[in-house]
Amino acid sequence: MLASITPLGERGRGSRWALTVVAFASAATAAGAALGAMLGTVGWLALSNRVSDESRLAVLAAALAGAVALDAGFRRVPGPRRQVNERWLDEFRGWVYGAAYGSQLGVGVSTVVTSAATYVAIAAALLSATPVQGAVVMGSYGAIRGLTPLLSVGVQAPGALFAVHRTLERSREPVRRAGMTALLASLGVALAGVLA
């Protein structure tokens, strides 16, 4: 998908890259926030008066530990195997498929799940037990995913697209390690909160 939403690709389809990216990022953020608000509401209804803050933090720590184990393992993270529909690129205007792709990626679980951190974000939104905090958690998640097309800002020619792909491939392992470090750090903070 990142290879499709580039200045070069959008120009070839008669779309404006900036408009497609704004639609993508806005929809990813809004879809994530909407899911987070729903999860926070469910948490508020099911947990807020029944489960202590300490217990919710312990559950989050367990989710983080599970995510570390999954991401450190050699198996794929469970989840859907589907990608966004590439045919939309030929069927719709840029802002339409930008919003459609963004909304799917913003919720995190409607396409391929590459890190168990996705499930931690969902758990955190639920455990927040408030619609606003849930919206902030998942809205932030969606916003980060929504900014990924910016990595292709310099793709004006086919050679630049190949260079972006090479850079992404070289970055795969360092990014995976950085994600694992963030999960471990979050687990440490959660455990410190539980043990305090």
pLDDT in tens, 131-186: 999 999 999 999 999 999 999 999 999 899 899 889 989 999 999 999 999 999 99
Q: Please indicate, yes or no, if residue 151 is contained in any of the structural domains.
A: yes
Q: Please indicate, yes or no, if residue 11 is contained in any of the structural domains.
A: yes
Q: Is residue 69 very low, low, confident or very high in pLDDT (cuts 50, 70, 90)?
A: very high
Q: Please indicate, yes or no, if residue 94 is contained in any of the structural domains.
A: yes
Going by C-beta distance under 8 Å and a sequence separation of 6 or more, which residues neighbour residue 132?
37, 40
Q: Please indicate, yes or no, if residue 45 is contained in any of the structural domains.
A: yes
DSSP character at residue 77: P
Residue 1's pLDDT is 64
Query: What percentage of the chain carries pLDDT values higher than 90?
Result: 73
Which tokens in the block code for residue 159?
A: 């050679």
Q: What gap in Å lies between CA 95 and CA 107, rounded to an integer?
A: 18
Spatial contact of 190 and 127, defined as CB atoms under 8 Å apart? no
Closest CA to 60 of 125, 111, 135, 10: 125
Q: Please indicate, yes or no, if residue 1 is contained in any of the structural domains.
A: no
Lowest mean pLDDT among 31-45, 71-85, 166-180: 71-85
* Total-model pTM: 0.91
The average pLDDT across 54-66 equals: 95
Structural domain including 92 reads 7-195
> How many domains does the chain divide into?
1
Task: Work out the mean pLDDT of the chain and round it to a whole number.
Answer: 92
Residue 49's pLDDT is 83
Q: Please indicate, yes or no, if residue 118 is contained in any of the structural domains.
A: yes
E strands in 141-184: none
Q: Please indicate, yes or no, if residue 107 is contained in any of the structural domains.
A: yes
Residue 83's pLDDT is 81
